[in-house]
Amino acid sequence: MANHTLLLLSQDNAEYKALLQQAYLPGLTILAPEQEADIQHALSKADILLGEPERLRAHLKNARALKWAQSTYAGVDALLSKGCRQDYQLTNIRGIFGPVISEYIFGHLFSLTRHLRHYKEQQRLHNWQPIPYQSIAGKTILIVGTGSIGQHIAHTAQHFGMTVLGISRSGREAAGFDHTYQIPALNNVLSKADVVVSVLPSTPQTRGLFDAARIEHFKPGAIFFNVGRGDVIDEGALIQALRHGNMGAAVLDVFATEPLPTASPLWDMPNVVITPHNSGYSFPEQIVTRFSRNYLKYINHKPMEGLVDFNLGY
């Protein structure tokens, strides 16, 4: 059996090394150097890399033996920009975020629709004051992006009695959705949705998809979630819509610039919830399970899970 060398390029190197050493991965040498000189030496012989996309990108040029890189994120746009090499197999971890992102969406949705923040403030003031609310049952949710994360959100929405609409590049039917449409139908479908969730990656086709003209099609009072990538929406147009337009509220986990600049008006808007890009945290145990399955496929020359198409961008 051929031997393979894995170089860890993650902020969680020690945890990954410990977990990988417990897995039975035949013929694999695991390197996790700390010093830059040691990293450079390891790059000359490692045929496999594992780490966050930005860290992988910083070392691609010198990874002379590279055949496969496993990203610890689902989004790999840092590795898809012009000038980045594409002469290796790249895998991401799509498919494991559905449950945690679904928890995020519905946790915040209930917080808004059931006025949980207001009740916390009323409790502080010893104020007994019921606030009218509506159930989410019977409401319509539009999920833009019908992959594994979108499908998990869709199933959860169905459980709560919502009508579930989806938008994707192909418009093909997907599990959990009542109806799916292609992107040209987006304006029309937006006007029907009480809740809009974007789980889109950053690709040339998705950047700026939600521009000022598109945002005008939102249903009055709609709640917008962005858990995909920040550059799919025009932030200036979003701010205007939240101040003066149709949009009722926005829950934003991703932004065009991260961290979100302290001067951004979004911070101080009462109908905006900001979280620090943590709606779907990837746990090392899950990533090592995925990597281990992929490693066994890699050494047996079988197609790996989460293989990224460099042309499509995901």
With b meaning 16 or more CB within 10 Å and e meaning fewer, what string describes 179-210? ebbeeeebeebbeebbbbbbbbbbbeebbebb
Q: Annotated catalytic residue: which of 169, 214, 217, 277?
A: 277
Please pick, among 59, 108, 152, 229, the residue that the annotation labels catalytic.
229
pTM (two decimals) = 0.85
In sequence order, the 6+-apart residues with CB closer than 8 A to the CB of 208 are 231, 232, 233, 234
Pairing assessment for the beta strands 179-182 and 4-9 based on DSSP bridges? unpaired
Residue 114 designated active-site: no
Q: Which residue in 54, 121, 173, 258 is the catalytic one?
A: 258
Catalytic site includes residue 229: yes
Average pLDDT score over residue span 148-168 = 97
**Residue 196 Cα distances to 109, 133, 164, 204, 255, angstroms:** 11, 19, 10, 21, 17
Among candidate residues 246, 141, 243, the one with its CA nearest the CA of residue 196: 141
Q: Among this protein's residues, is 36 annotated catalytic?
A: no
| Token representation of residue 42 | 């390891």
Tens digit of each residue's pLDDT (9 = 90 or more) over 276-305:
999 988 789 999 999 999 999 999 999 999
Round to whole Å and give the CA distance between 83 and 106: 39
Over residues 66-123, the pLDDT tens digits come to: 999 999 998 898 999 888 999 999 999 988 899 999 999 999 999 999 999 999 999 9
Does residue 7 surpass a pLDDT of 70?
yes
Phi first, then psi: what are they for 146, rounded to 5°?
-110, 30
The pLDDT tens digits for 240-280 are 999 998 899 999 999 999 999 999 999 999 999 999 999 98
Instruction: Report the sign of the C-alpha dihedral through residues 143, 89, 230, 186, in that order.
Output: negative
